[in-house]
Amino acid sequence: MSTVVSPVTHPVRLTERINRIEPSATMAVVAEADKLRQQGIDVVDFGAGEPHFSTPQHIKDAAIAAIQANFSKYTPVGGTAELKDAIVHRHAVDFDSDYRREETAASVGGKHALFNVISVLVDHGDEVILPVPYWVSFKDMVRYAGGNCVLLQSDESQGFRVTADMVAHLVTPKTRLIILNSPSNPSGAVMSAEDMTEVVRLAHQRGIWVISDECYVYLNYTSKRFSVGSLREYRDRFLVVGSLSKTYAMTGWRLGFTLGPAPIITAVQKLQSQSTSNPTSIVQKAAVAALKGPQQCVEDMRAEYIKLRDHVVKGLRSIPGVKCTLPEGAFYAYPNVSAFFGRSGINSASEIAGKLLREVHVATVPGEGFGTKEHIRVSYATSMAELDRGLERMGKFFGGL
């Protein structure tokens, strides 16, 4: 006799902590755009937060060689010594830091590294200062850890730039952590080296932690690139989180890292040892090639992003009603579309992004996911031709509202 398994009819009970967070807004757009594409619709994709470039050949070759050499076993949880040395070396050469092997851990992408560090540092009731607009995942990672985000409102008329004074105003006895992300996703704002130094100095003085998310640190279009990692005298109070995703066009490979005090790195590795274990062995070999190999590819991509940025900002600004600050880094424009609220029943950025996708098939990400209601994020990591196609569709769409 076969057993009949009846379908589950009772509501599924999930933990309180998983109910505290929301799915990533950017991932939701990618999924919706994909659905349209599967129906054969020609979507112009300004939604995805990833380079349109292919991974450079020498990096791919290193991965293929690693497969051929059977480099396919577990490695130490935080990455091989070879990889750790490559991370430390690259950062020292580019940013004048002086980390040791014990002060770094590799993770499965920068997102994973950030999740680990926030889990290790933030406890229930801790306050975490987070500049707005923020990258979508910071808020949810803090909430998942039980912390409370204290939002720092930046000024659009100042290009969303965050200053040390703004941060200082929000510090309370409960402040545990300050999160900096320069250049910023989504605004492209770059903090000055002076302001970053001042924040780290303040944190050091007050016993607060700083995480500097350097995901876009090589995509800085205005100033000399800067890392808090060079501020050696304050090093016991900050963590640098880096990623190979954008720097070397390696988003799908999943390789990020943390640099910071050894006790925090040990705790990060402990957490990682009970979840993912090591990042993929083959990817670690590719990462060594990326970090130690020729760096011209990074400079070439940066030069191309500057051209794309100038083109998209000019195009967006030429649409009547759309206002757009000049992003100083990363590869996103963050236009203000609030002039269209109240027209055709539209009252929010999500409604605009929804209509843009459904009516003219242009994928963007609504600002609500980044903590602002008046903007949409336009990723310009695409070809000039795609930018033109999308801008034309956007011009028609906004012109018809």
Residue selected from 33, 202, 215, 333 as contacting ligand PLP according to rule CB under 6 A: 215
CA distance 83 to 159: 37
Beta bridge partners of 336: 323, 375
Scanning the structure block, which residue is given the tokens 């690139």? 225
Q: Which is nearer to ligand PLP, 195 or 213 (CB)?
A: 213
**At closest approach, how far in Å is the CB of 281 from ligand PLP?**
18
Beta strands per DSSP E along 122-261: 127-132, 148-153, 175-181, 209-213, 238-243, 256-259
> Near ligand PLP by CB under 6 A, which window of 12-20, 106-114, 225-233, 303-311?
106-114
- Tally of CB atoms within 10 A around 193: 17
Cβ nearer to ligand PLP, comparing 48 with 319: 48
Residue 211, C-beta contacts closer than 8 angstroms, at least 6 positions apart: 114, 117, 118, 121, 177, 178, 179, 180, 238, 239, 241
Within 166-195, which residues bind ligand PLP (CB under 6 A)? Answer: 181, 185
**Residue 197 CA to its chain's centroid (Å):** 21
Buried b (16+ CB within 10 A) or exposed e, 318-348: ebeebebbebbbbbbbbbbbbebeeeeebeb
**Contact stretch for ligand PLP (CB under 6 A) within 105-113, 264-272, 295-303, 311-319:** 105-113
Looking at residue 119, its amino acid is S
The angle at the Cα of 42, spanning 38 to 43, to the nearest 5 degrees, equals: 90
Which parts of 45-104 interact with ligand PLP (CB under 6 A)? 49
Question: Edge-to-edge strands of the sheet including 376-379?
Answer: 332-333, 376-379, 365-366
The stretch near ligand PLP (CB under 6 A) out of 35-43, 109-117, 151-159, 169-177 is 109-117
Q: How far is the CB of 256 from ligand PLP (least distance, A)?
A: 4
- The nearer residue to ligand PLP, 118 or 319, going by C-beta atoms, is 118
CB nearer to ligand PLP: pick between 256 and 390:
256
Note the helical H segments in 44-105.
57-68, 81-95
Minimum distance, C-beta of residue 183 to ligand PLP, in the bound complex (Å): 9
Whole-number Cα distances in Å, 240 to 33, 113, 153, 179, 285: 33, 10, 23, 10, 22
**Measured from the CB of residue 35, what is the shortest distance to ligand PLP in angstroms?**
21
- How many residues form the binding site for ligand PLP (CB under 6 A)? 13
- Tell me: does residue 239 bind ligand PLP (CB under 6 A): no
Closest approach, Cβ 192 to ligand PLP, in A, equals: 18
Complex with ligand PLP: residue 34 or 236, whichever CB lies closer: 34
With tokens 């750790």, the residue in question is 84
Cβ distance to ligand PLP smaller for residue 99 or 216: 216
Interaction of residue 245 with ligand PLP, rule CB under 6 A? yes
Residue 251 sits in the site that holds ligand PLP (CB under 6 A): yes
Q: Which residues would be at the binding site for ligand PLP (CB under 6 A)?
A: 49, 109-111, 135, 181, 185, 213, 215, 243, 245, 251, 256
